[in-house]
Amino acid sequence: MNVNKISIVEDKRGVRNMEKINVLDKITDNLDKLLEYFAIAMLGISVLLAFSNVIMRYAFGISHEILAEISIYTIVYGVFFYMGPLIRQNEHIKMSALHEILSEEVLVYIDLLINIVLALTFAFLIYGGYNWSFSLLGMNIKTLSGGMLLFVPALAILIGMIIGLLYSILEIIKGIKTISDR
């Protein structure tokens, strides 16, 4: 009789853990959409700024370097912000040959290892990005046009790496859960 109670408790814990994973998936689904819209908006802004700069240059003889810089930096922000959803979709590192050769069980461990290495890399890049970004801010270094602090585009790296780290940690949690369920 105690065995039945133990298995019921284990089942309830497993169901609760699965519910937590499902809640995490729903939250990250919404975050994925938000980041996708942000990336598309950044791309749109970049295209509009580049197009308007070309029109102003050739139609009116006016050229603003700051518009070209903002055009470039909006793409950088869009790319770094969309890194998280790519990690979740396993689009960050494609190794099709391994997926064809190895069994599912081995692939789960390899994916977990990749996500751990990725999380450690992001943590290192966050440390470096933080130091670099705030040293640029402290020195008041500006971009080539002189119209913007270099801190603003450098911050894209720091924010993007934080998003990447969060998504990597979520994938590590899912990987551990998958392994423990086997």
What pLDDT, in 10s, does the model give residues 66-88? 888 899 999 999 999 998 888 88
3-state secondary structure of 142: strand
User: What is the value of pTM for the model shown?
Assistant: 0.76
Within 10 A of 62 (CB to CB), how many other CB atoms are there? 10
CA angle in degrees (0–180, nearest 5) for 73-75-81: 100
Q: How far is CA 30 from the centre of its chain?
A: 14
**Parts of the chain with a pLDDT under 50:** 1-10
- Position 178 scores a pLDDT of 84
Q: What is the extent of the structural domain holding 35?
A: 2-181
Question: Based on the structure, what is the number of domains in the chain?
Answer: 1
Q: Find, among 14, 56, 38, 40, the residue nearest to 159 by Cα.
A: 38
What confidence score (pLDDT) does residue 106 get? 85
Give the whole-angstrom CA distance, residue 115 versus residue 170. 9
Buried b (16+ CB within 10 A) or exposed e, 26-58: eebeebbeebeeebeebbebbeebbeebeeeee
Distance linking the first and last C-alpha atoms of the chain: 25
How high is the mean pLDDT of the chain?
85
In this prediction, residue 9 carries a pLDDT of 44
